[in-house]
Amino acid sequence: MGTLIYDGADGFTFDDRVLAHLQAVISTKLRRREGFLLIWNDRTTAPGGTLRSIWLDPSISVQFVFSGSDLPELNRDWLTILTERANSNGGLLLEDALRAEIRQEVPEGSYRASRARKKEA
């Protein structure tokens, strides 16, 4: 498990694969001097989790601390999904289902397939 440390806070825990994808998207947005909202369900705080959001801004310090010594391989499809969300008015919503797919706990494409089914209904 890696940690996203924002503005000197204690840090927020994410799986290293998820954190690597967040790092790629966040660093791109901040390099362009674009702020945005990151929203996720923090399951480290309570059994059902706590909805958490932070405003990421180029003027505030951010660190990515990985538990391993190698960066996980990035998936272009996941980066596209996360980037589109980061560019949206609602912010980057990091749903549990997408996080599970990035962590490889469900088959790749499961998240995208479930989203397509929801849109069709």
pLDDT tens for each residue of 1-20: 899 998 887 789 888 999 99
Task: Please tell me the pTM assigned to this model.
Answer: 0.81
Summarised one tens digit per residue, pLDDT across range 42-60 is 887 777 788 899 999 999 9
State residue 54's pLDDT score. 92
Distances (CA, A) of 45 to 52, 62, 74, 75: 10, 21, 28, 28
Q: Give the number of other Cβ atoms within 10 Å of residue 105's Cβ.
A: 11
